Amino acid sequence: MKTQNADQNRIEQKQTLRKRRHAMAFATYLVPVSLVVLCWSQGLLPEKVIYHVAAAVLLINLTILILIHTNLNLKFRDPSMTAAHIAVSSIPTLYVMYFLEPAQARSIFMILLVVAVIYGILELNTRRFLMACLWIFSLYCIMLLALWRKKPETLDWSLELIQMVAFGLTLLSMSIVGGYISNLREKLRSRNQELQKAIEKIDKLVNIDPLTEVSNRRRLFEVLTQETNRCNRAETLFSICLLDIDHFKQVNDTYGHMAGDEILCHIACSISEGIRNIDAFGRYGGEEFLLVLPQTRLAGAVVKSEKVRCQVAGLRFPDISGDIGVTVSIGVAQYRPPEDIDTTLLRADRALYAAKANGRNRVETEKNQTAVT
């Protein structure tokens, strides 16, 4: 469950980042739209082009936003849709260029096409960069062909040839350089992931008990220190439950230490799956475990301890013996500020001793009173 939550959080973070990138890209559309209006004001474009470009910009960005918001983009091979966005966004620009008769004016919008390609650095590798640039260059050639057929008088082929070669070489250079930078970003991302895994592994070695794979004593004392400081600072409260497996030495003597280790692991896994996210549970030492319950009074801790006691009593270990079962005795104490945490642990230990003295498989509070029999 925790792994699924972590994966979901990572997906949400990536989707949020994609929305931010899309917002940045959407803001850049103000430049070509403003230029279109400026060209219209100078009599270079018909008024209808303004409405067509504005409608295309809204349609493109709204579609991308809906795909990200509904997570439909996650079904695509490229969830960021960078290549698709570049390819589609080039169409309104080329549409404007078709209506611009002066070649010098069209060259201004060619620069905007190059700027749009720059966004590929965020995601595209060299091959996909080349494909996106080839798409744009092909559309550009189709636009020139349409001008030659419909409005040949607007073309100065000597100038158009120079612009075509320059545009093609620029896109090719952008593909090579952009793909190289994107590959470097991917390598850096991969190294960061490896570093994160190494940090998590080190953290596990430092804070996790290697046998039971729950928190170790060191980590438990870190949590206790945090809760103590929080309690002293914010006047909150917490309780602790000290658990000990009854007659564990007899289990080891009868079935062997490997069987004892299996029982420890099974109990630890069962208890850790039933606690809250804010709770902390770990191996305190030997066959003892400690459960830290933030924001929980003594009475609530007793109720939780009783649930744990019944949970453990219901466990069976068929791989060891068909009818073998174990029980736990639990001592419960509530932290009393501003006492030292060792004092709280001592009261929980005394309550645990009382539980064992009163017959085991029971919960006792710090006041040495029977909570549940």
Which residues are catalytically annotated?
Answer: 287
DSSP-derived pairing of the beta strands 280-285 and 288-294: antiparallel
3-class SS string, 111-130: HHHHHHHHHHHHCCCHHHHH
Alpha-carbon span 313 to 326, nearest angstrom: 6
Q: For residue 64, what are the contacts with CB-CB under 8 A and spacing of at least 6?
A: 22, 73, 81, 85
**C-alpha–C-alpha distance, residues 346 and 162, integer Å:** 87
CA distances from 243 to 15, 180, 303, 360 (A): 43, 58, 14, 11
Return d(Cα 147, Cα 145) in angstroms, integer. Answer: 5
Q: Quote the CA–CA distance of 116 and 87 in Å, as a whole number.
A: 9
CB neighbour list of residue 252: distance below 8 Å, 6 or more residues apart: 259, 260
- 253-259: Cβ within 8 A, 24+ apart: 255/320, 255/321, 255/324, 259/317, 259/320
Order of strands, edge to edge, in the sheet holding 280-285?
280-285, 288-294, 238-245, 328-334, 363-365, 370-372
CA 176 to chain centroid? 31
- The structure tokens listed for 250 are 């007899």
How far does the chain reach from its first CA to its final CA, in angstroms?
A: 33
